[in-house]
């Protein structure tokens, strides 16, 4: 069975850079599966920053919604980095998709993959309870997604200030 890794942590905790290093230890070249869409200038700037940091050893694939499809299509060779699950979840919810079914499908796919995969996700539940119901629903969905993905993946790391702590 191939290796699957989940990396979680707060915003700007260095998860992406850590995940890139981990992915490249699993093989080169590697595939970067981006779930981000450049809705606004702030997001476009963040995407550009991430892309500029990655070198020519990366091929980029966009998968804002059909993450399982992108993993199947890119399977069989190079390691993949999915960055990130919480943005994918947000895309699914905004598009009014059944995110719980999508997460279940993704978790069922992981043990069938033959090439390694590293997933980046976010901790969003360690602040004060949000005022609005939508933010609370998103927070709940992100937490449940993280729990299910942690069961499905071989390894789980918590990233703190750029350094990894092994959880599972």
Show binding-site residues: 9-16, 34-36, 51-54, 83
Q: Which of 3, 50, 139, 148 is catalytic?
A: 50
Q: Is 133 a catalytic residue?
A: no
Residue from 2, 3, 10, 66 touching a second copy (CB under 8 A): that is 10
Q: Tell me, residue by residue from 71 to 110, as one string, x for binding to a second copy by CB under 8 A and - for no binding.
A: ----------------------------------------
Do 157 and 166 meet the contact criterion of CB atoms below 8 Å apart? yes
Is residue 146 within the footprint of a second copy (CB under 8 A)?
yes
* Distance (Å, whole) CA 51 – CA 58: 9
- Tell me phi and psi for residue 31, to 5 degrees: -110, 130
The stretch near a second copy (CB under 8 A) out of 5-13, 65-73, 91-99, 104-112 is 5-13
The stretch near a second copy (CB under 8 A) out of 30-38, 95-103, 112-120, 156-164 is 156-164
Task: Give the side-chain half-sphere CA count within 13 A for 70.
Answer: 21
* Distance (Å, whole) CA 22 – CA 159: 12
Going by C-beta distance under 8 Å and a sequence separation of 6 or more, which residues neighbour residue 52?
A: none
| Strand-pair partners of 7 | 120, 157
| Strand-pair partners of 103 | none
Question: Using CB under 8 A as the criterion, which residues of the chain lie in contact with a second copy when the complex forms?
Answer: 6, 8-14, 42, 121, 123-130, 133, 135-136, 138-140, 142-144, 146-147, 149-151, 156, 158, 160-163, 165, 167-168
């Amino acid at each position: 069975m191939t290796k699957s890794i989940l990396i979680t942590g707060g915003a700007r905790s260095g998860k992406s850079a850590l995940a890139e290093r981990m992915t490249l230890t699993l093989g080169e070249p590697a595939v970067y599966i981006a779930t981000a869409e450049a809705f606004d200038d702030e997001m476009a700037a963040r995407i550009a920053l991430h892309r500029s940091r990655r070198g020519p050893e990366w091929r980029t694939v966009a998968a804002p919604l059909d993450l399982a499809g992108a993993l199947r299509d890119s399977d069989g060779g190079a390691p993949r980095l999915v960055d990130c699950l919480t943005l994918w979840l947000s895309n699914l919810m905004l598009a009014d998709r059944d995110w719980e079914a999508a997460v279940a499908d993704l978790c069922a796919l992981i043990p069938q993959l033959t090439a390694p995969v590293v997933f980046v996700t976010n901790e969003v539940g360690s602040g004060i309870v949000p005022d609005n119901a939508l933010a609370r629903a998103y927070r709940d969905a992100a937490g449940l997604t993280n729990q299910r993905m942690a069961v499905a993946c071989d390894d789980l790391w918590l990233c703190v200030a750029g350094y990894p702590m092994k959880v599972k």
